[in-house]
Chain A
């Protein structure tokens, strides 16, 4: 039981390049989330999904796109990377239920130069 797996763990991009971060969960969770973590800013929600084929915007969605084609996968895309997107990205999943906890992956450290 791997839980939530994020790939890659590290990535360096040049400004204007594109990339996709992959999140996979094996817990059959309905809900999946992408957060970014920046010093002094905490965890901020980028996009989330409440089920296969659905996505919604979070607090800081600009510059990112997401897709949830399969229940177990949630992809985060950067079409044209900017230095402001340098951050640590965390994926999380949870089952339905108001008190079900978020299960986080171990993060992807992205640097945009």
Chain B
């Protein structure tokens, strides 16, 4: 049973466009939501993270939007660039235990020049 549901599975965006990836969860004990970026042949690396006490977090062109009541969060990539082409994973954990991270199924993003 997938603890974190992620969509879409793949996404193609024109250079300069906005990429949006969505995630949803059921377990209300989750209170930390990181996003990881993975390039081919490499391990994932932390991109940006949010806690549910804020509704939005922005770092450069990357923004996480969080809707606690809907148990949904999303990653927005503004002005998407070919270098952003990668697989993106959302994840969730419980900070009181902090030991396990549950990942979504991943989104393969392709940005067309």
A residues touching B (Cβ–Cβ < 8 Å)? 4, 31, 33, 35, 40-45, 48, 50, 56, 58-59, 90, 92, 97-99, 101-107
CB pair B105–A102 under 8 Å, yes or no, is no
Given contacts A40-B105, A58-B100, contact A106 B44 (CB under 8 A): no
Which B residues between 77 and 113 are near A, CB-CB below 8 angstroms? Answer: 89, 93, 95, 98-106
Instruction: Please report the C-alpha to C-alpha distance between residue A88 and residue B49 in the assembled complex, in whole angstroms.
Output: 25
Shortest Cβ gap from A88 to chain B (Å): 10
Contact B43 A48, beta carbon cutoff 8 Å: no
Contact A102 B101 (CB under 8 A): yes
Residue B34 interfacial (CB < 8 Å): yes
* Interfacial chain A residues near B46, Cβ < 8 Å: 101-102
Asked if B45 is an interface residue, CB under 8 A from chain A, the answer is yes
Contact residues of B: prevailing secondary structure:
loop
Q: How far is the CA of A61 from the CA of B53 in the complex (A)?
A: 33
A-facing mask of B18-51, CB < 8 A → 1, else 0? 0000000000000010101000011111100100
B residues sitting closer than 8 Å to A (CB atoms) are 2, 6, 9, 32, 34, 36, 41-46, 49, 89, 93, 95, 98-106
Q: Do the beta carbons of A99 and B43 come within 8 Å of each other?
A: no
Chain B residues in 8 Å Cβ range of A44: 103
Minimum Cβ distance to chain A for residue B38 (Å):
8
What separation, in Å, do the CA atoms of A108 and B45 have in the docked complex? 16
CB <8 Å contact, A42 and B43: no
If A4-B43, A105-B43 touch, does A50 touch B99 (CB 8 Å cutoff)? yes
**Does the CB pair B89–A43 fall under 8 Å?**
yes
> Which residues does chain A contribute within 8 Å of B2, judged by CB atoms?
42
CB < 8 Å neighbour of B44 from A48, A50, A102? A102
Can you offer 19 A-B residue contacts whose CB atoms are under 8 A? A33-B101, A40-B9, A42-B2, A42-B6, A42-B103, A43-B44, A43-B89, A43-B103, A44-B103, A48-B99, A58-B100, A90-B43, A97-B98, A98-B93, A99-B32, A99-B49, A105-B43, A107-B41, A107-B42
